[in-house]
Structure 1
Amino acid sequence: MSTVTARRSSDLLRQIVVLSAVTFMLIAAMVGVGLFGGTAVQDLQGGALDSDASYLAPASSAFSIWSVIYIGLIAYAIWQALPGQRTNDRQRALGWLVAVTAVLNGVWLVVAQYATLPLTVVAIVALLVALAITFRRAVSTRSRGDGAIDAILLDGVTGLHLGWVTVATVANTAALLTQSGPESWASAADVLGVVVLIVVGAIGLGIAFASTWRVTPSLAIGWGVFWLGIGRLGGEPSSTVIGVTAMVVAALVVVVPIIVAGLRLIRPSTD
């Protein structure tokens, strides 16, 4: 087999694997919402993953962002399978990585459904690492000529996925610590919650800076932290200080990258 033929076979395999990975993720998601006899995520692990399970759990409305992420991944899977994308250099650089993130997304739901809470933390950290690598690769391979669809379905969707999973990792870890830690930890919940939120804000701004101020990770982080604040201000467990801190962090994480990105767009026209 010639090198060219082998490369084309690898390209076709990549397209099939991406479609298969996203399909697996969607099936796992349907199980995760209680279809096919599965238990809904909020009822798994003794309710540890519900929106009122810890001080760092976002309100239930926050999870609607999954619909946007899933629609984006479905659109990407279909788009990358088109013949015109088969030999695209960015698809070669990112397709396999996107497939890994889709599989790990589904794996988390399977682990949450059938394994233990500590293993869900391991699974979501693995997903977070894979998304960070994928987003970094997306930023480093991006060029002006790649087009709007490419920007939305690769950089945009991956950025949203990364941002939301950053918040979800915090919530998942907090759920584990809440369930397994001593009751005395509750007395320090406000202080710890504020510290964690400040760290999340720093991570969000760090991702924006490292990606030359891409805004999609910041939008997802801001969305999750905003609803975390709503949960603490209007739900249980209640914490005014965590709720207010979350609102401030959410605003900073979203507004700062938008302003900087806007200035970067304006500056070339004024030179």
Structure 2
Amino acid sequence: MKIDQDRLRQWVNFLAILSAFGINIWANIAPWKGLTIGEISTTFFPNVLIIPANYAFAIWGLIYLGLISLAIYQVLSTQSNNPRFRQMGYYLAISSLSQIIWVLLFQSQLFTLSVMAMVGILIPLILLYLRLGINLTKLPFLQKWLINFPISIYFAWISVATVINIASALDRANWGGWGISSQVWTAIMMVVSATIAVTVIWQRRDNVYGGVFVWALVAIALRQIEENLTLAVIAGVLAGLLVLIIIGRKAKARRKRI
């Protein structure tokens, strides 16, 4: 019997996204090692200064709202021949499966290996973002909100999470930082992250991607405001600059339409 490749792709993506969602729920409600992901971060990495305040991780609710909406939309029979979903291929499925592996590794406290799984989430998202040309062309309302938005917010948060994951793994491995203080390294990582966000905002007019970085930087500032005022100020200034760039980019786009 000939397999319908479009339907296969739809269901693989659908099931992979729902499976990743289920694993994340399980990991935070009934963690098999007794500690949730947030509790592991608090217990094992109190000295990793780039970890944002706990409330920042609530963004996963929005991420999965978007991803599940995308999963449902793309699995509809009317969308089986949608060329945009054909372009999407199995990238989201690969990212979702890598995320399941990441959860299992992180909860097993295999932090170095968890970085490899995080990269396994990030790379397919980069390729997907580029392949779909997110924000480069005008799209119908549904495709904008059910494809572009979920991918942008997921990609942005995984970009942030990759930096945090690497910093955490290095801390656990007792990396000396080549003699550079953790405060300086944190400032460098925040500046590099903000630079990446600026690049995407400017080249892609992707305010959603930039907004996620603002969210993360504000959460870092709030976490550090009592312990390390300098880092809190740097994070706050970078967040403010990103907001100004987003506003400026939107104003520039509006002037072009007039």
TM-score (ref. length: structure 2): 0.90
Distance 1:132 1:215 in 2: 17
State which of 29, 52, 64 in structure 1 corresponds to 2:24: 29
Please show how residues 2-13 of structure 1 align to structure 2 within 5 Å.
9-13=4-8
Change in Cα spacing, 1:122 to 1:182, as seen in structure 2 (3 Å) is closer
Residues 38, 54 of structure 2: 8 Å contact kept: no
State which of 141, 145, 148 in structure 2 corresponds to 1:148: 141
Please show how residues 1-271 of structure 1 align to structure 2 within 5 Å.
9-35=4-30, 37=32, 39-44=35-40, 47-48=43-44, 52-114=46-108, 116-139=110-133, 143-144=137-138, 146-181=139-174, 188-211=181-204, 213-234=205-226, 238-269=227-258
**RMSD (Å) for aligned C-alpha atoms:** 2.4
Q: Could you tell me which amino acid in structure 2 is paired with residue 180 of structure 1?
A: A
Residues 45, 112 of structure 1: 8 Å contact kept: no
Change in Cα spacing, 1:217 to 1:46, as seen in structure 2 (3 Å) is closer
The SS at the match of 2:90 is helix
Q: Could you tell me which amino acid in structure 2 is paired with residue 170 of structure 1?
A: V
Q: Could you tell me which amino acid in structure 2 is paired with residue 28 of structure 1?
A: I
Distance 1:125 1:147 in 2: 31
Residues 202, 249 of structure 2: 8 Å contact kept: no
Following superposition, the deviation at residue 179 of structure 1 comes to 2.1
Residues 10, 75 of structure 2: 8 Å contact kept: yes
The SS at the match of 1:58 is coil
Following superposition, the deviation at residue 188 of structure 1 comes to 1.1
Number of equivalenced pairs: 257
Residues 204, 217 of structure 1: 8 Å contact kept: yes
Residues 221, 233 of structure 2: 8 Å contact kept: yes
Deviations 1:209-257 (A, max 9, x none): 332x1111111111111101111114xxx21111111111112223313
Deviations 1:185-210 (A, max 9, x none): 79712222111111111111112233
**Structure 2, gaps ≥5 residues long:** none
Change in Cα spacing, 1:91 to 1:54, as seen in structure 2 (3 Å) is same
Distance 1:46 1:222 in 2: 22
Structure 1 window deviating more from structure 2 (214-223 vs 122-131): it is 122-131
Distance 2:107 2:182 in 1: 28
**Structure 1, gaps ≥5 residues long:** none
Residues 157, 212 of structure 2: 8 Å contact kept: yes
Distance 2:82 2:219 in 1: 38
Distance 1:95 1:76 in 2: 13
Residues 101, 127 of structure 1: 8 Å contact kept: yes
Distance 2:164 2:179 in 1: 16
